[in-house]
Amino acid sequence: MQDDDATREAERALRLCAACLYCDDYCAVFPAIAGKHDYSLSDIGYLANLCHNCRGCYHACQYAPPHQFALNLPKALAKVRQRSYAGYARPRWLGRAFADNATVVGVVTLLSIIAVLLAADPAALLAATPGDGAFYRVLPREVMVTGAVAALAFSLGALTLGTAAFWRAIAPDCSGAELLRALPRALADAVTLRYLGGGDGGCGDRIEAPSRARRLFHHLMVGGLLLSIGSTAVAALYHHWLHWEAPYPLVSLPVALGLVGGVVTLIGVGGLIALKLRADRAPSAAETLAADYAMLALIGATAASGLALLAFRDSAAMGLWLTVHLGLVLALFLLLPVAKLVHGPYRLAALLRAAIERNANSSPERAD
């Protein structure tokens, strides 16, 4: 990351917050800055990713606008967080995708759908092809698997390298044993979204009504995606072990998992979009909103196209829905290291450092 206006504003805000600490029980950021007055670029990047953007501190802050200090910590950290994604992206050229991320998401999605359409059999796109192996008459299974595996392998590799670069920058001085001891707590904090609660009162999306709705919808979206991944995994087992070819009967485990997963994902995505549309804009970084909407729209479209494929799989529209759905899935895979989903591993890394530091501060040796 580079020193710029965003990092300097974040440092100013952090120094003011460290001197006040009125919000010390709101999230992990405030205990992390207690007694700290100087911040390196890596410290600022760490704290930006530790922030869950719950915004509770903004609405509780006596120094927020119109006070002359104009303190807006969530907005300052959101800007730095977006820069950290670009700064630690590997290969480095991927970082350019965060300059206009919504456009990148749109272009990659369009090109992915076109690529799948070009690979499909034109005769099967608008023809009813019922029975076992119907999907593979539209697009050969080898093409499906090769494209998905190649895209996922590249993206997971890039995401791993980027997360490793971020961790090297923020990692505290600790032993392997200390790291392992902190890992369960960090994982639990990440999975439960512990700090997406604004000090247990809920997220401050709107000052008059903080709630836990964002945590709920986030869990629904992620849970739905995991069910959909489970559907794909079970279908792969059916194909390789039982030699059953898709599409599977309506009363089958892959279809049930995919149906429930798709519906739950749509509920989660719809809820998150609704919250964003009615949220207070003041503690938000305007330049990150378009990217957030773009990724939510892609996830929602992927789930919706999967449900449409299920609904129309015995009709002449099956081939078209299949190619659209596979194109959206391909785009989702390709965008893993260059869109909003990158926040997951970065936040886990930040939570791991926070857990290590909390354990160190509460150890008997420290107390003595």
pLDDT at 368 over 90: no
pLDDT reported for residue 242: 86
Kind plus residue range of the DSSP H or E element containing 204: none
Please write the tens of the pLDDT for every residue from 183-240.
Answer: 999 999 999 999 987 666 667 666 556 788 999 999 999 999 999 999 999 999 998 8
* pLDDT mean over 148-154: 97
Per the prediction, the chain carries an average pLDDT of 92
**C-alpha span between 89 and 240 (Å, rounded):** 36
Residue 48 has pLDDT above 90, yes or no: yes
Q: What is the pLDDT of residue 207?
A: 58
Closest CA to 293 of 317, 307, 312, 275: 275
- CB atoms under 10 Å from CB of 332, counted, come to 24
Closest CA to 119 of 99, 146, 98: 146
Per-residue confidence band for 182, with pLDDT thresholds at 50, 70 and 90 = very high
User: Distance between CA atoms of 14 and 36, rounded to whole angstroms?
Assistant: 9
Distance CA 317, CA 229 (A): 24
For residue 35, count other CB atoms closer than 10 A to its CB.
7
Q: What is the mean pLDDT of residues 49-69?
A: 93
- Distance between CA atoms of 133 and 135, rounded to whole angstroms? 5
How many whole angstroms from its chain centre is CA 18? 28
Residue entry with tokens 């490793």? 164
pLDDT at res. 365? 52
Any idea where the domains of the chain sit in the sequence?
5-87, 92-359
pLDDT tens sequence across 320-343: 999 999 999 999 999 999 999 999
The model's pLDDT over 90-106, given as tens digits with 9 standing for 90+, comes to 999 999 999 999 999 99
